[in-house]
Chain A
């Protein structure tokens, strides 16, 4: 059964119907096979781009859909229910476009955004480094000005779409100040001096390629600097809350898929002469899963509505990320429990959902970092 959603407009209802159709016909049928074979579905992003799904939150003047986050995130949730790797990739791509859309020059936007938002050009977001994960400002990748170029040297880590993307949004140090010494660059794939590590051998999201990106004297035209020198940290932080909301929505979709699979199995599986869904113990398990999914959805939508209304939503974004991803871990684990021995096999999707859920508690700011953000805000408010 499709999720019964509250949507603000007729066009958003039609949009969600379109997303469900594309998900059912193009994503769900191949997700399990591609994940099992660690096959990156590049063509899917072209399809999503042509349908206008990669540009939904961007303004119409850039060829975007001008949709509120309330709608965009529910689209992302539906995609995640069908294929988590694609939802994460869509979120990462949106994040990679954000810098040019928000801080790029008129020329950069005109030249780059149409293909980025149309899905012709897939993006990767290069912020983390081996020694700079949660502590982003510890980054050491350097960009040194040399005539009309910058020369990049250093290693970026955990890069989604590494080696697959057409462009890389790269944050690198142009000065020594911990935060004000960082700048943002647009680096096209194929730039000399850029290379990739071997794909990480991950527990889940195996359809999504993750690598290190290695810069060794990579020359980037000075015109590819985004915003001003030293503005990089500001650019990175500006997209942070939006990125967290995307993960909250994707985690909610993943949990929804696990709940749907568990409920369908419980209704069909008979023991002691009746469907196991007739046992109260099973119903309580399903009830807790359903409650967790709807709590997640309500929480991320509240943050999204604050964002759409122009209100501060940093704290709410962290709460949504924390709530939805912890819930996804719990719900997917319980889905395996509902399916019993079958749930533990790769013949059913729930064990994959469980493996995919784990990373959502880690990336886009670990849930410990989210608690730090929320806790600091609580204390700041109490001090007045």
Chain B
């Protein structure tokens, strides 16, 4: 079993995040980054699946991004992934989901060129862009079935069964490997790396590929090729001080009136 997990290095949500003034892309240099929290669930699921059965599954973690994006791959290696691929190329800067999915697809194909990939695992969305469309695009580009937003996954041979929790119904979906699978934050409890994992990660293989290595034409990706563009960014206005309701016996009614006025109930 060979599993590729796509992971993203995102700005730390607890730090002060901003956009680049010139091209309105996320400022990735001026803020500490980390492995997108939602991708930790994908890494955990990949490690669990790989360790099941005869336990000889291989987990390759794949990330696209500038030099510091390697940190996301390294964290995944410390959690237990076996090898990592880092696609780094200046031309990737500013790519939208279409560009990103193209690079990921080509990288997955290259990873699978010796032994084929059985599962491509993704988090349900990134914690910065939060679009949640890359897994579907990736499946389309690879010509594979897609099972997205899985909250529970069971594997039986090459059959994958997933539970998808929707707002009004729960679906059970089946697909056959190879496939693209995205998982939600309900699926597991990601493990912490251990110090042994940190030490072991130092000895694991990390491949660095450029767009040329993948045969991707730089004009197909990056800011210029993006289908969408950010025209303007404005800082969120500071939070106002809220409204204080003094309870003179009718506090409950005042709260209800306020919530109804805001169309919250």
Give residues 326-374 of A contacting B (CB, 8 Å).
Answer: none
With A10-B202, A11-B202, A14-B78 as contacts: A50 and B195 at CB distance below 8 Å = no
Asked if A53 is at the interface of the complex by the 8 Å CB criterion, the answer is: yes
- Residue-wise interface mask of A (42-68) relative to B, using a CB-CB cutoff of 8 A (1 in contact, 0 not): 000001001111001000000001010
What's the Cα separation between A50 and B193 when bound, in Å? 9
Interface residues of B in 73-93 (CB under 8 A from A): 74, 78
B195 touches A51 (CB 8 A): yes
B76 → chain A, closest Cβ, in Å?
13
Asked if B195 and A22 make an inter-chain contact with CB atoms under 8 angstroms apart, the answer reads no
Q: Please tell me if the beta carbons of B202 and A21 are within 8 angstroms of each other in the complex.
A: no
Q: Cα distance A47–B194 when bound, in Å?
A: 10
Interface size grouping (class) on chain A: 10 to 19
B196 an interface residue at 8 Å Cβ cutoff?
A: yes
- The answer to whether A65 touches B195 (Cβ under 8 A) is yes
Kindly state whether residue A240 has any CB partner on chain B within 8 Å.
Answer: no
B22 within 8 A of A: no
In the bound complex, what is the Cα–Cα distance between A47 and B193 (angstroms)? 11
In the bound assembly, the distance between CA atoms of A21 and B14 in angstroms comes to 12
Residues of B contacting A53 with CB < 8 Å? 195
Cβ proximity bits A1-44 to B, threshold 8 Å, 1 near / 0 not: 00000000011001100100110000000000000000000000
Query: Number of A-B pairs whose CB atoms are under 8 Å?
Result: 34
Look across to chain B and name the residue whose beta carbon is closest to the beta carbon of A11.
Answer: B198
B interface residues, tally (CB under 8 Å): 10
Cβ–Cβ < 8 Å partners of B74 in chain A: 14
Chain B residues positioned under 8 Å from A14 (CB to CB): 74, 78, 193, 198
On chain A, the residues within 8 Å of B196 by CB distance are 52, 65
Q: Is the interface of B mostly helix, strand, loop or mixed?
A: helix
Q: B199 touches which one: A11, A22, A50 (CB < 8 A)? A: A11
Main secondary structure of the interface of A (DSSP, over half): helix
Q: Which residue of B lies closest to A63 (CB)?
A: B196
Contact A18 B193 (CB under 8 A): yes
Q: Report the minimal beta-carbon distance from A95 to chain B, rounded to whole angstroms.
A: 20
Q: Contacts of B198 on A, CB cut-off 8 Å?
A: 11, 14-15, 18
A103 to B195 CA separation, bound complex (whole angstroms):
25
User: When chains A and B are docked, how far (Å) is the Cα of A265 from the Cα of B74?
Assistant: 36
Contact between chains at B195 and A15 (CB < 8 Å)? yes
Enumerate chain B residues within 8 angstroms of A51, measured Cβ to Cβ: 192-195
Q: Give the docked Cα–Cα distance between A2 and B176 (Å).
A: 46
Binary CB contact string for chain B from 189 to 213 against chain A (1 if under 8 A, 0 otherwise):
0001111101100100000000000
The distance in angstroms between the C-alpha atoms of A11 and B74, with both chains bound, is: 11
Interface hub of A10, A18, A50 (most chain B Cβ within 10 A): A18
**Inter-chain contacts of B194 with A (CB < 8 A):** 50-52
How close is B150's CB to chain A, nearest CB, in angstroms?
A: 24
Can you list 21 A-B pairs, Cβ within 8 angstroms, ordered by A? Answer: A11-B195, A11-B198, A11-B202, A14-B74, A14-B193, A15-B195, A18-B78, A18-B192, A18-B193, A21-B192, A22-B192, A50-B192, A50-B194, A51-B193, A51-B194, A52-B194, A52-B196, A53-B195, A56-B195, A65-B195, A65-B196
Chain B residues proximal to chain A, CB less than 8 Å: 74, 78, 192-196, 198-199, 202
Other A-B contacts than A14-B198, A18-B198, 4 sampled, CB-CB below 8 A, are: A50-B194, A51-B195, A52-B196, A65-B195
